[in-house]
Amino acid sequence: MNLLDLFQKKKPIISFEIFPPKLDTPIESIFSTLEQFKELKPDFISVTYGAGGSAKDRTIEIASKIKNEYGIESMAHLTCVGHSKDEIDTLLKAIAEHNLENVLALRGDPPANQPDFDFSKNAFQYANELIAHIRSKNDFCIAAAAYVEGHADSKRLKDDLFHLKQKVDTGVDFLVTQLFFDNRIYYDFLDKTSSIGITCPITPGIMPIFKADQIKRITSLCGASLPAKLVIMMDKYGDNDDDMRKAGIEYASNQIRDLIDNGVDGIHLLTMNRPKSTKEILINTGLIR
């Protein structure tokens, strides 16, 4: 199913993000996890691309399994960094051949240890160029990334918003945001996107915190700010994994309750491949019984 159709029919759309197992782990290891996610009846599951390096080849295979065997709609992430046009076309062909209809089209980050990587030498320099290319060849539903606090490469949020509008106008059906921990930033972002004429659904990305060091690593990579409430929580529970996990689930549940009360288009849960914690959050927020 084309996910834009789903966003037009239902609110909120509940989606999970998972990542493929690394190449030194059998791909089958994700299947028992997927069995458990299936029980939670998400509207769709998205599968990241390139996480952990070479496991990127597994994205389409897992997205296909989710859709064609588990009967849950899926979305394959696709980054264009370091790929030639032919390589992208081969991937797009594989996506279509696996009966997949939804793609999250991304630029991607510089390869590890290459901070001076020159994106201008890429076949597609920015995500909007990849999106234009996909649009010219396929009728996939195309999603793209949005950054409520601005992308790290942008000097000003205003510049990032300008490029986001350009990207949406190229042919984006819906946006998925980078994770954030303060809902007010997301609501302000919705006001700003609406004021520049972005009208597509913008589903918020929510990541529950399971470990204090996990959150420091992730926020240092994506630049999400940590509200004082969260810092206090990490100081209080950071040394005890079990208490930290419970507090992280409570924090994410509160965020989600508030988002739903404010009529969001969807909730995109960054599950970290953890069905048990995901289930607890869905129960806490009344999304499942």
Alpha-helix residue ranges (DSSP H) falling in the chain: 3-9, 29-39, 58-68, 85-97, 127-137, 157-171, 183-195, 212-222, 228-237, 241-261, 275-284
List of residues contacting ligand FAD (CB under 6 A):
48-51, 77, 79, 104, 106-109, 126-128, 145, 151, 153-154, 159-160, 163, 167, 176, 178, 205
- State how far the alpha carbon of 38 is from the alpha carbons of 32, 104, 279, 288, in Å: 10, 21, 11, 13
Grouping H, G, I as helix, E, B as strand and the rest as coil, residue 224 is coil
Q: Considering beta carbons, is residue 162 or 239 the nearer one to ligand FAD?
A: 162
- DSSP, res 152: T
Q: Shortest CA distance to 109 belongs to which of 144, 152, 76?
A: 152
CB of 243 to ligand FAD, least distance (A): 29
Buried b (16+ CB within 10 A) or exposed e, 208-218: bbbbbeebeeb
User: Which of these is catalytic: 17, 73, 101, 280?
Assistant: 17
| Closest distance of CB 241 from ligand FAD, Å | 26
Placement of tokens 């793209």 in the chain? 144
Q: How many CA atoms lie within 13 A of 233 on its CB side?
A: 23
Q: What are the φ/ψ torsions at residue 38 (nearest 5 degrees)?
A: -60, -40
Of 126 and 189, the one with the shorter C-beta distance to ligand FAD is: 126
- Which residue's CB is nearer to ligand FAD, number 13 or number 176? 176
Closer to ligand FAD at the Cβ: 131 or 234? Answer: 131
Cβ at position 40, least distance to ligand FAD in Å: 20
Distance CA 119, CA 209 (A): 32
Please confirm, yes or no, whether 17 is among the known catalytic residues: yes
**HSE value, Cβ hemisphere, 13 Å, CA-based, for 133:** 24
Cβ nearer to ligand FAD, comparing 64 with 79: 79
With respect to ligand FAD, which residue has the nearer C-beta, 43 or 244?
43
Concatenating the DSSP letter of every residue in 174-216 gives EEEEPP-S-HHHHHHHHHHHHHTT--S-EEPEE-----HHHHH
Nearest distance in Å: CB 246, ligand FAD: 26
CB of 182 vs ligand FAD, minimal distance in Å: 16
Q: How far is the CB of 281 from ligand FAD (least distance, A)?
A: 18
Tell me which residues are annotated as active site. 17
